[in-house]
Amino acid sequence: MKNMDFEKLSNEGTETLPSEERRRFLRFGLSVTGVFLGGSVLSLTSARDALGISDILPDAKKFPYKPHYSMVIIQNRCVDCERCMEACTKTNDVPSYGYRTKILDQKRDLGPSLQEQVFMPVLCNHCNRPPCVRVCPTTATYKDKTNGIVMMDYKRCIGCKTCMAACPYNARYFKETNRAIDKCNFCFDTRLSKGEKLTACAAACPAGVRNFGDLSDTESNVYKLVHRPDKVVWVLRPETGALPNVFYTTD
Amino acid sequence: MIKSILADSQEMEVATPGVNKATLLFGLLALLGVGAGIYAQVVGHHHAFANTREMPWGLLISSYAFFAITSTGLCLLAAISHLFGGNRMAPIANRMVFLSIATIMGAFSIIGLELENPHRMLLYNMLSPNLTSNIWWMGTLYSMAVGFMFVEFFSILTRQYKMAVTLGVMGAIAEVLANTNLGAVFATLAGRPFWYGAQLPIYFLSCAFMSGAAAIIIFSYFAYKIRKEEMDTDTFNGVQTAGKVLTLMLFLISVATIWRFIAFYVGGAEMARTAADALTNGPLSFNFWAIEIAFGLAIPMLLLSMTKLRSVPMMAIASAMVLVGQFISRFDLVVAGQIVPEFTGWSDLPTYLHYVPSITEMLVTCAGFGVACALFLLGERFFGNTFRDSGHH
């Protein structure tokens, strides 16, 4: 029978088909469209971006630090209540002219007459290749060898502000009372070293935006959040090669 | 001993009432600047300087770079003349060594007052050095260079020329390494795409040759002006050779500038293009087109080639223009690198951050000029004979 001849046949209808047959047909159709859909989606995404997720995460078996502290921000949960900022300020004695963490906002176009409001918490990214640490002349800022937190030794800071210029995330400010640069240290001195498991901002967040934990622990919340195959995980300014440890994702 | 050295080197005749007055004036300018710096330390830099969290560096860093770059150029040109001889710059080489010291002192005055905690630097640069930090290398190498040049100049004064040449070469090597590290301070910051790239260190070195040549021309011109003398032939030949170096470097810097900007506009990071826009078509465009390009590169090049390097006053005018252009160029570079907010597109951040230097910053910059110019005049008075001696060893 030639293709054209099919048109001449009368339609048998689907009601007479056995369900086994119907299922087989649907499975076949799904696998065909699946291949095509998969193909088209992949071709819309450059190989570089497709690799992005594995690029920004350290190899699961080779985490440089133990615990490898990291924060995963579920961005679309943030409603800008700023309790994280408040908790940070209170816990870490942050003066009114400075901040260690902040929430940025943006109106994003969803269509010609539709906009959504987006909030993005930012803080020190505790990079694996921190530009600030490399440029500091006196090692006043350094990466903790155990937990990877980018710390400050205030008394060594000469106030050259090169770390401020080097930071891709605007995470540093000059604190007058210390006569030194101040920055987020994942509340190491104020909470973690005292046995707390969370940073002040993560503990204060009512919406579970800020998830803090040990990335090298496969059972941890943060590990699971960045290993969800159906979710995109991204970092800010990946092009700088700083390899940040603050990850962003959505629900 | 000092007395006998000075008896040999000084040129009392230079110390006319006019020159003394000018020296005093520059000295006062330096003091005023230092006073402003101390005031800023007391009230806090954040109150006295216009820098912000987003724009931590400004006029003071750029002025420091201007003086440091000029010092490198002077030191290198002097070392090349001393080492290889046979070129016609030898008669002005001793003056160049001294001026290299004078300009780096200007640079140190500014950076010392710019740092929040210079006292901690003295301690922790040694106690906890970071060998991956360009700032550490730059500071260490410039300090070493000054040390070498001090001893070099002392050797020149005491006529130990072999020693002087050796130290001159060591000083020049330290200055070159310091200078490229200064370039690398900016060039290795991937978070600032306007600075990031391989060009800046070599660009800084080229600017050093250009600014150094311009500085020796203009200071030689004034050295004879204050003596009310005609420039002797040997010195004129030296100045003319510096004029050739200046013309060549003007051409090379122009080429580097053109391609640097074309590169920003044909691809790469958006932040760098936006920063380049600030210069070509934004808040820094007058600085860029009128002062950096026209006043600082194009017109001096025209003046030098039209007068064929025969007129000292014309070379001096061109050199002054180049130095003004370079001063503004450093400012443009430092500001443009930070002028685009890092989180552009968020929280209604402006396209360009606002930065206008405060009066205190301007006064501290004056300290640099005061120190360098006062030292120049003092040098002519105390070492004038040594400068004249240059070519004869």
pLDDT in tens, A181-211: 999 999 999 999 999 999 999 999 999 999 9
- Contact assignment for B46 to A170 by CB distance below 8 Å: no
B20 pLDDT tier (thresholds 50, 70, 90): very high
Structure token digits, residue B100: 């290299």
What ipTM score was computed for the predicted complex, to two decimals?
0.94
A40 pLDDT tier (thresholds 50, 70, 90): very low
Domain ranges of chain B: 2-385
Instruction: Mention every residue, 6+ apart, whose C-beta is less than 8 A from residue B36.
Output: B48, B113, B360, B363, B364, B366, B367
Task: Return d(Cα A150, Cα A148) in angstroms, integer.
Answer: 6
Name which of B53, B189, B192 is nearest A173 (Cβ-Cβ): B53
Tell me whether B313 touches chain A (CB under 8 Å).
no
Nearest residue to A139 (alpha-carbon basis) of B179, B34, B135: B135
What proportion of chain A, given as a percentage, has pLDDT over 90? 72
The helix (run of H) or strand (run of E) holding residue A57 is none
CATH topology assigned to domain B2-385 = Formate dehydrogenase/DMSO reductase fold (1.20.1630)
Choose the mutation target among B123, B347, B348, B361 for the interface with A, i.e. most A CBs under 10 Å: B347
pLDDT in tens, B118-149: 999 999 999 999 999 999 999 999 999 999 99
Residue B90, pLDDT score: 84
B4 pLDDT tier (thresholds 50, 70, 90): confident
pLDDT at B234 over 70: yes
Residue B106, pLDDT score: 98
pLDDT at B349 over 50: yes
pLDDT in tens, B39-86: 999 999 999 999 999 999 999 999 999 999 999 999 999 999 888 776
Task: Return d(Cα A208, Cα A205) in angstroms, integer.
Answer: 6
Q: Considering chain B, what is the average pLDDT of its residues?
A: 95
Structure token digits, residue A105: 């906002």
CA distances from B8 to B151, B226, B232, B382, B388 (A): 17, 20, 20, 9, 12
A161 chain-B contacts, CB cut-off 8 A: 51, 56-57, 116
Domains and CATH numbers, chain A: 58-249 (3.30.70.20)
Q: What angle do CA B273, B138, B331 make, to 5 degrees?
A: 40
Beta bridge partners of A182: A173
A46 pLDDT tier (thresholds 50, 70, 90): very low
- Contact assignment for B130 to A122 by CB distance below 8 Å: no
Residue B356, pLDDT score: 97
The predicted model gives B284-301 an average pLDDT of: 98
Choose the mutation target among A139, A141, A176 for the interface with B, i.e. most B CBs under 10 Å: A139
The helix (run of H) or strand (run of E) holding residue B29 is helix B17-43
